[in-house]
């Protein structure tokens, strides 16, 4: 195989697959990227056996064929290439030459026959969704990451739903780590070929990889079939194997009684939390909130370091509530809310606390208090 | 001046005190299995050559009519506490080094209680009167010499090394009597013709640092009566509580190990509750048939004193680490001990698992408290877990 490609294009493509090829799998070859040259273009394939990437691009193919090469090394090589173009050629069996003017690399590849097949899913009914919305949905939900030793599907994965309501249809992602949960809805237009379906659990890692391709085009096709979630763009496709498991019944947790709403300024609240979290450590990671008549007092105590206290005026007219939270959870949430005014829906010190924007209702965050 | 108090044949003496039938007879406190070792032998048994750390079968060869008793650690602790309470009346600086021995720094207490020698005698008499047991006391200006001295007039005696006689005492003191000088050290020095601390003084320090490193340096200082160690006041609170047992025979049966861990969890958790403590870290210790030994630990999200928690963590560690080796010894311990349960607030969870766990824990809390109360009244084996054999 022999082809010529612009340095910028190949860098971008290889940048997108690093997350996938960088993940350890049971096969050594998954650290490689498969490059196939056919007719007028070349395709790049990468997989970690859970998430697969496939992209087709225009390139100057002189001789057809296929190679696999270590994705990290190839990425580093082309990134540092001077000039505009890179020439890649298989000069002997699995012996790949990468060159441009006076620079030449010879890299050992692996046999393309050993490269695992990325699953082919046919006859998928795709729904068209604005790329920005999907990306936002992913970014806000994968914010709640799973610890590296976590095995439970409902924590390592995000619940993806397609809900048909009386007058609207929406896609929803829900993510949790057992202590907090967030939900992002995206409304789907009538003409966008919405297909309602069962809830599925999608690995957070795969979603993060998918988010990387959601940058150029305006729309992405989203479809679920045969245990796969597929994101399809004009040139690129990401296909993610679904997780098996049950997602907890979260409806009860997100039920909201407006009577408990407290309105606060997002920025001021966020800054206050940051100041309070300075004293938190692994063993003392709580901040105590005292909601009293029109006044919120926040204290953080760490026996190893010291304590801090701050208060702010808020509109609050109920009986006093004292509640503890891990400030990190609140800060994470405030960082992804677009509204400047937010609603903190607080019942008492042992029920979930709901946080959302005053106007923007697509994103809802639920945080469980700590036991004082 | 420093006093070293050492109970005489402590465990055996307690058994003889509690059971008059044993008095005057050779008593050996030990486990009962073929692989047990003697933890204490009474003076009657010592006449036959039986001593601590000797395998039981060997002890029984030497003294076939010895009465072997299993030992009752709680009872020993009780008396030990009594003895050290007496010690603390004479000096604020009491360092308990084990269940049956300790140091008192009585410097400056003379005005109240008389000379150190008088104090040693009073101490010995009061211990005898109040506990019914005898002890020996060594008196010396240096800590290690006090320990050596307490052994010289045993049982039930006092031996004094005055500041004036210290030098002569050291010169004549055989190296093998010095605490911390092991077989290897003694043999090495013997090659140089050194038998006593006095002999050591004929060599330069470098001889010993070369051959023995830091231990040589220490020994050389001791030869001149310079002991860096002082009496370190109140003993620190227990940093860990653990329990281990050598199995009657090596096993590859996990169920057997589980049962043993359960018994140990019960023991350790009971100890925690008795002392009003909570532990945050659980350690599993395994020795395999080839004497290879591993310890593995895990940190809990909240401190506990429930045996069920300790057991569950130990089993998780065991399941992860054990790959079929033959097991010789199993041990369970806990550390990161504190007086209170979770002081910092703990995170609640959305779907109620934590809350459900807490309800379960509260139930177990009651169960274990009741069990403690029953055992307090009717003995350790009045109630046990069904899986734990006595």
The predicted-structure confidence for A61-86, as pLDDT tens digits, reads as follows 999 999 999 999 999 999 998 888 99
Question: Would you say residue A186 has pLDDT above 70?
Answer: yes
How high is the ipTM of this complex? 0.72
| CB neighbours of residue A275 within 10 Å | 15
For chain B, residues classed under CATH 3.40.1170.60 are: 10-73
Instruction: Give the residue-averaged pLDDT of B28-49.
Output: 83
Give the separation between CA A177 and CA A260, rounded to whole angstroms. 24
Cβ atoms B307, B265 nearer than 8 A: yes
- CA nearest A353 in B: which residue? B350
The beta-strand segments (E) located in A242-348 are: 261-265, 287-292, 295-302, 306-313, 321-325, 341-345
Output B181 or B8, whichever has higher pLDDT.
B8
B220: nearest Cα among B253, B250, B198, B248? B198
Give the separation between CA B102 and CA B93, rounded to whole angstroms. 10
* Chain A nearest CA to B233, separation (Å): 26
Interchain CB distance below 8 Å, B351 and A352: no
- CA nearest B344 in A: which residue? A284
The predicted pLDDT at position B390 comes to 55
Question: Would you say residue B36 has pLDDT above 90?
Answer: no
Report the run of H or E that residue A234 belongs to, with start and end.
none
Residue B340 — pLDDT band, cuts 50, 70, 90?
Answer: low
Contacts of B98 (CB under 8 A, 6+ apart): none
Looking at domain B240-378, which of 3.20.20.140, 3.30.1490.100, 3.30.70.260, 3.30.70.3270 is its CATH number?
3.30.1490.100
What's the mean pLDDT when you consider all of chain A? Answer: 92
Nearest to B350 among A181, A303, A372 (CB): A181
Q: Chain B within 8 Å of A366 (Cβ-Cβ)?
A: yes
Q: Residue B95's beta-bridge partner residues?
A: B103
Give the separation between CA A135 and CA B74, rounded to whole angstroms. 65
For chain B, residues classed under CATH 1.10.150.20 are: 166-223
* Chain A nearest CA to B342, separation (Å): 9
Question: Would you say residue B339 has pLDDT above 90?
Answer: no
Selected for mutation to probe chain A from B281, B339, B343, B344 (highest A CB count within 10 Å) is B344
| pLDDT more than 90, % of chain B | 16
Interchain CB distance below 8 Å, A324 and B349: no
Contacts of A3 (CB under 8 A, 6+ apart): A37, A42, A59, A60, A61, A62, A63, A87, A88, A89
pLDDT per position as a tens digit, B188-236: 888 888 888 888 888 888 888 887 888 888 888 888 888 877 777 655 5
What's the mean pLDDT when you consider all of chain B? Answer: 86
Instruction: Give the residue-averaged pLDDT of A44-57.
Output: 94
CA distance to A70, A179, A327, B240, B354, per residue, from A253 (Å): 46, 11, 20, 41, 15
DSSP B369: H
Residues in chain B: 390
- B344 contact residues in A (CB cutoff 8 A): 283-286
Question: Would you say residue B56 has pLDDT above 80?
Answer: yes
The predicted pLDDT at position A68 comes to 96
- B346 contact residues in A (CB cutoff 8 A): 370-371
Interchain CB distance below 8 Å, B349 and A181: no
The predicted pLDDT at position B237 comes to 62
Q: Is B49 left (phi over 0), alpha (psi -120 to 50) or beta?
A: left
Interchain CB distance below 8 Å, B353 and A178: yes
The predicted pLDDT at position A213 comes to 86
The predicted pLDDT at position B192 comes to 81
The predicted pLDDT at position B260 comes to 92
The dotted CATH code for B10-73 is: 3.40.1170.60
Cβ atoms A269, A310 nearer than 8 A: no
B321 is catalytic: no
Instruction: Give the residue-averaged pLDDT of A21-40.
Output: 92
Residue B259 — pLDDT band, cuts 50, 70, 90?
Answer: very high
Interchain CB distance below 8 Å, A370 and B346: yes
Instruction: Give the residue-averaged pLDDT of B111-133.
Output: 88
Compute φ and ψ for A174, nearest 5 degrees: -130, 135
The predicted pLDDT at position B342 comes to 52
Nearest to B347 among A248, A326, A366 (CB): A326
DSSP string of B131-158, one letter each residue: HS--EEEEEESSHHHHHHHHTTT-SS-E
For chain B, residues classed under CATH 3.30.1490.100 are: 240-378
pLDDT per position as a tens digit, A189-243: 888 888 888 899 999 999 999 998 888 788 999 999 989 999 999 999 999 999 9
Please state the pTM of the whole predicted model. 0.62
Catalytic residue among B95, B101, B267, B271: B101
B317: nearest Cα among B293, B283, B288? B283
Question: Would you say residue B368 has pLDDT above 80?
Answer: yes
CB crowding A203-221: b at 16 or more within 10 Å, else e: bbbbbebbbbbbeeeeebb
- CA nearest A179 in B: which residue? B349
- B357 contact residues in A (CB cutoff 8 A): none
pLDDT per position as a tens digit, A274-305: 999 999 888 788 899 999 999 999 999 888 88
The predicted pLDDT at position B384 comes to 84
Cβ atoms B217, B208 nearer than 8 A: yes
For domain B166-223, the CATH architecture is Orthogonal Bundle (1.10)
- A252 contact residues in B (CB cutoff 8 A): none
- Using DSSP's 3-state secondary structure scheme, residue A265 falls into strand
Q: Residue B240's beta-bridge partner residues?
A: B335
The predicted pLDDT at position A372 comes to 79
Compute φ and ψ for B71, nearest 5 degrees: 90, 145
Give the separation between CA A221 and CA A271, rounded to whole angstroms. 39
Question: Would you say residue B242 has pLDDT above 80?
Answer: yes
């Amino acid at each position: 195989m022999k082809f010529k490609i612009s340095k910028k294009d190949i860098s971008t493509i290889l940048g997108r697959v690093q997350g996938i090829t960088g993940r350890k799998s049971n096969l050594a070859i998954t650290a490689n990227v498969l490059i196939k040259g056919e007719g007028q273009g070349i395709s790049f394939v990468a997989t970690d056996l859970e998430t697969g990437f496939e992209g087709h691009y225009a390139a100057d193919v002189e001789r057809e064929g296929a190679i696999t090469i270590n994705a990290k090394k190839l990425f580093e090589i082309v990134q540092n290439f001077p000039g505009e173009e890179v020439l890649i050629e298989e000069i002997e069996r699995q012996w790949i030459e990468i060159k441009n003017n006076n620079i030449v690399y010879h890299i050992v590849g692996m046999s393309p026959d050993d490269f695992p097949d990325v699953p082919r899913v046919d006859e998928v009914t795709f729904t068209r969704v604005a790329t920005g919305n999907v990306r936002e949905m992913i970014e806000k939900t994968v914010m709640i990451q799973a610890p590296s030793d976590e095995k439970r599907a409902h924590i390592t994965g995000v619940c993806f739903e397609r809900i048909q309501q009386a007058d609207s249809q929406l896609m929803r992602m829900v993510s949790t780590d057992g202590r907090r949960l967030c939900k992002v809805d995206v409304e789907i237009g009538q003409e966008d070929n919405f297909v309602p379906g069962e809830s599925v659990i999608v690995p957070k890692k795969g979603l993060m990889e998918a988010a990387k391709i959601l940058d150029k085009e305006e729309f992405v096709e989203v479809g679920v079939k045969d245990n796969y979630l597929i994101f399809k763009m004009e040139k690129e496709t990401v296909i993610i194997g679904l997780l098996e498991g049950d997602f907890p019944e979260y409806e009860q947790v997100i039920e909201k009684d407006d009577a408990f709403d407290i309105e606060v300024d997002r920025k001021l609240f966020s800054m206050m939390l940051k100041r309070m979290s300075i004293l938190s450590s692994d063993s003392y990671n709580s901040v105590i909130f005292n909601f009293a008549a029109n006044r919120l007092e926040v204290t953080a105590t760490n026996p190893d370091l010291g304590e801090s206290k701050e208060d702010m005026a808020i509109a609050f007219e109920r009986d006093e509530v004292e509640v503890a939270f891990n400030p990190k959870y609140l800060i994470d949430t405030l960082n992804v809310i677009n509204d400047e005014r937010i609603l903190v829906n607080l019942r008492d010190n042992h029920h979930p606390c709901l946080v959302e924007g005053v106007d923007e209702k697509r994103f809802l965050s639920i945080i469980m208090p700590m036991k004082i | 001046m420093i006093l070293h108090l050492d109970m005489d044949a402590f465990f055996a003496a307690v058994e003889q005190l509690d059971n008059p039938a044993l008095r005057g007879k050779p008593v050996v406190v030990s486990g009962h299995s073929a692989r047990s070792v003697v933890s204490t032998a009474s003076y009657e048994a010592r006449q036959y050559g039986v001593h601590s750390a000797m395998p039981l079968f060997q002890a029984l060869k030497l003294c076939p009519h010895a009465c072997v008793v299993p030992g009752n650690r709680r009872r020993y602790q009780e008396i030990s506490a009594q003895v050290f309470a007496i010690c603390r009346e004479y000096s604020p600086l009491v360092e308990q080094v084990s269940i049956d021995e300790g140091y008192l720094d009585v410097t400056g207490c003379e005005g109240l209680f008389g000379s150190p020698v008088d104090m040693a005698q009073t101490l010995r008499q009061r211990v005898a009167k109040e506990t019914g047991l005898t002890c020996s006391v060594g008196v010396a200006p240096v800590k290690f010499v006090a320990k050596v001295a307490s052994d010289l007039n045993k049982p039930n005696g006092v031996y004094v090394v005055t500041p004036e006689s210290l030098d002569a005492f050291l010169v004549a003191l055989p190296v093998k009597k010095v605490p911390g000088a092991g077989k290897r050290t003694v043999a090495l020095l013997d090659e140089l013709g050194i038998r006593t601390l006095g002999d050591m003084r004929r060599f330069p320090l470098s001889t010993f640092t070369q051959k023995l490193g830091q231990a040589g340096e220490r020994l050389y200082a001791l030869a001149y009566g310079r002991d860096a160690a002082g009496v370190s006041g109140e003993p620190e609170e227990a940093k860990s509580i653990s329990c281990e047992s050598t199995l009657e025979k090596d096993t590859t049966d996990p169920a057997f190990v589980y049962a043993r861990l359960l018994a140990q969890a019960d023991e350790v958790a009971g100890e925690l509750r008795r002392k009003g403590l909570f532990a945050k870290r659980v350690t599993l210790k395994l020795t395999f048939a080839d004497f290879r030994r591993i310890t593995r630990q895990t940190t809990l999200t909240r401190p506990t004193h429930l045996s069920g928690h300790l057991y569950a963590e130990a089993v998780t560690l065991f399941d992860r680490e054990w790959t079929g080796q033959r097991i010789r010894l199993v041990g369970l311990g806990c550390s990161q001990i504190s007086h209170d349960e979770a002081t910092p607030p703990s995170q609640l969870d959305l779907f109620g698992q934590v809350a459900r766990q807490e309800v379960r824990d509260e139930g177990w809390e009651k169960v274990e408290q009741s069990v403690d109360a029953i055992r307090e009244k009717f003995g350790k084996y009045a109630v046990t877990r069904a899986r734990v054999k006595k």
